[in-house]
A and B are shown apart, each in its own frame.
Chain A
Amino acid sequence: MSSSDHGAFPSADLQRLLDLLGAKGHRVVGPTLRDGAVVWDTIARVSDLPIGWRDHQAPARYRLEQTGTGEVFGIVHGPQSLKPFAFAPREPLLQIERTNGGLSIYPRLPKPEKIALLGARPCDVAGLAIQDQIFLRGPYRDSPYASRREGLFVIAVNCTRALPTCFCSSMKTGPRAQSGFDLALTELDDVLLIEAGSEAGKAVLTELPVSPASETLLAEASKRIGACAESQGRLQEQAALPQALYDAYDHPRWDDVAARCLACTNCTMVCPTCFCHTIEDAPTLDGQHTERTRLWDSCFTHEHGYIHGKNIRPMIKDRYRMWLTHKFAAWHDQFGMSGCVGCGRCITWCPVGIDVREELSALLASDGRSAARRSDNP
């Protein structure tokens, strides 16, 4: 990496980037504050961003704090990953009409929209790449996903602060974005470093008035990103995880976690990679039209494993085991990668604070007794 790939500009000039993206036809979407939470929304002015705010996350805990600084990207992330922008929570697939003696079927496709996602964290950029693998590189290319995905321009922001729930460095997805972005920013006090990661990103960067990034600035960025990685707790060795989890099928820890899990589906809704969905046919009252829609589903619902007359996964234990084993084991068999990016959302948004890292280490402990919850053995 040489300094010529990078540029730097004062944070105060961020509006220039927004204007440039707007001029190129993108709707800029970034983190905004709404009702005490962080949600993705349209950013017209830099002041729409949560400047001077930070988030604090812990198991079952999410708080926002005003720091009084000019920090632009102080929020690590809200409950939403980038997932809804390509894999829509509600996607119309078909319009079906009853015609004389038959059916007419019309495929539905979302209107293409150019969206520039400002402030995507490296874990979420990695999550998007996993979803691309699932929806675009399987036996069938999913057209609604492809249509939404084509319009996305990703502006990552490298992380210099890790939350207690973060474990991207264990999952090798952060805290520096490696690929899958068009532009990447690193915030260093009142300066933003900028780097292009694609041809489209380069095209924007060449039009943006930036100074060359000095070696000192680049070194400072590396130092802070490195410190962010260091500050994270480590997850066990990834290579051994799949088989170890398959082997832990009868581990008593599953009963323990099932006693705490509410099967509320929060973890799957906030997960950047979960892809389960259901298909719903909604007929109009006159019975002439039906709209077929794809909706996010969760493996924690009672219906997920239902087949005529019985439920394959009736117990919460079955469902939690399926979810965790899928993320960290089966995903490797299915897609050649882990299904977890280490964003920690499932920990934060779990109402009872179940921590996947804790569950994994308990499950990988060789005997049931040492698998007792850490919190029970202070």
Chain B
Amino acid sequence: MINPHLIHAATIVEKMRETADIHTYRIRINDEAERRQYRFAAGQFNMVSLFGVGEVAISIVSDPDEPEYLDHTIRAVGRVTNAVARLQAGDVLGIRGPFGRGWPLDEARGHDLVIVTGGLGCAPVVGAIEYIFRRRNQYGAVKILHGVKTPEDLVFHERFERWERQPDTEVLLTSDRPGKLWRYHVGVVTELFEMVSFDPVQTVVLMCGPEIMMRVGVPILLRRGLPATSVYVSLERHMECGIGLCGHCQMGPYFVCKDGPVMRYDRIESWLGRPGV
């Protein structure tokens, strides 16, 4: 990419409802030459812009081997994402990217995976899980641990059910608070750690969610013999440029947009979950 400021016009080909306020937008870059050139790695993100409104960083959740169509799962929470939520198939968005470093899915080949997510959505890790299951025989045992605050916060319900049916795969769900129809664990996500077994030498951990979950949760895993270099966390910061230049996403010595958003735990450990960083 010569000019990282340049926007590609892209058309929404399909808008898929995940929940009332979360949709996955399948988009296709309009210009054929630009589309052919566009390649991304799992876990990278685009700056998605809406004409005249603004721009937000959104991870690409579709498969990097099929770069013609790009899926972005977007929750309507802010000015830009609320405006995006009003778009339909056929409408045009702008994208810049791809930016950042994603999940270590190449390095993790042949390993077991423990995937920990907390909170709503966790779109960045959904792309990684789908990537792994599309290449199921290249990876070992997969354990997906997902925690929500209340049962109502569980999104991607069908996905969890589909993942659960994959071979050599375990899905554990928990909610901080109980609910009438909640048939899973009640408690914080770190309690699920006690309920899974993993081989610390063979396992790579992918984690996405609140920083406090990482700060509290990762040491529990490390005490079971897992090296800190086997844990990867996906971070979230305010981003405007995507190329480590606008300054907003700094976290200690790092630019989350450029050095992350996925970072190896040992590199970011001392900054994680600290107030005001």
Contact = CB atoms under 8 A, between A and B. Distances in A.
B1 A140 contact: yes
B74 to A, nearest CB: 11
B243 A277 contact: no
Contacts of B3: 107, 140, 143
Contact of A275 (B237, B247, B277): B247
B235 to A, nearest CB: 10
Contact of A94 (B7, B54, B77, B81): B7
B92 A102 contact: yes
Contact of A306 (B30, B238, B270, B274): B238
Interface stretch (A161-169, A208-216, A311-319): A311-319
B41 interface: no
B149 to A, nearest CB: 14
A330 interface: yes
Contacts of B112: none
A103 B238 CA distance: 26
Interface stretch (B126-134, B180-188, B249-257): B249-257
A314 B276 contact: yes
Contacts of B246: 276-279, 297
B258 A287 contact: no
Interface string A141-180: 0110000000000000000000000000000000000000
A276 B52 contact: no
Contacts of B252: 246, 325, 330
B66 to A, nearest CB: 23
Interface string A99-131: 001111101000000000000000000000000
A280 B277 CA distance: 25
Given A96-B51, A312-B276, A329-B253, A105 B247 contact: no
A275 B243 CA distance: 13
A322 B241 CA distance: 19
Interface in B232-248: 236-238, 240-241, 243-248
Contact of A103 (B4, B7, B55, B275): B7
Contacts of B39: none
A16 interface: no
A22 B77 CA distance: 55
Contacts of B243: 138-140
Nearest to B255: A334
Contacts of B245: 134-135, 138, 140, 142, 275, 277
Contacts of A297: 246-248
Contact of A305 (B92, B94, B238): B238
Contacts of A134: 245
Contacts of A278: 240, 246, 248
Interface in B35-50: 49
Contacts of A315: 276
B247 A318 contact: no
A246 B275 CA distance: 14
Contacts of A138: 243-245
Contact of B237 (A143, A312, A317): A312
B159 interface: no
Contacts of B277: 312-313, 318, 322
Given A134-B245, A330-B253, A333-B253, A101 B92 contact: yes
A290 B77 contact: no
Contacts of A275: 245, 247
A97 to B, nearest CB: 9
B71 to A, nearest CB: 20
A184 interface: no
Interface in B210-240: 236-238, 240
Top 7 A-B pairs ranked by shortest CB distance?
Answer: A318-B276, A283-B52, A276-B247, A333-B253, A103-B9, A308-B77, A330-B253
Given A102-B92, A142-B245, A143-B3, 18 more contacts: A94-B5, A94-B6, A102-B30, A103-B7, A103-B51, A138-B243, A140-B243, A140-B245, A277-B245, A277-B247, A279-B241, A281-B49, A281-B52, A290-B52, A297-B247, A305-B248, A307-B237, A308-B77
9 contacts: A96-B94, A143-B5, A246-B270, A276-B246, A281-B53, A283-B52, A297-B248, A322-B250, A330-B253
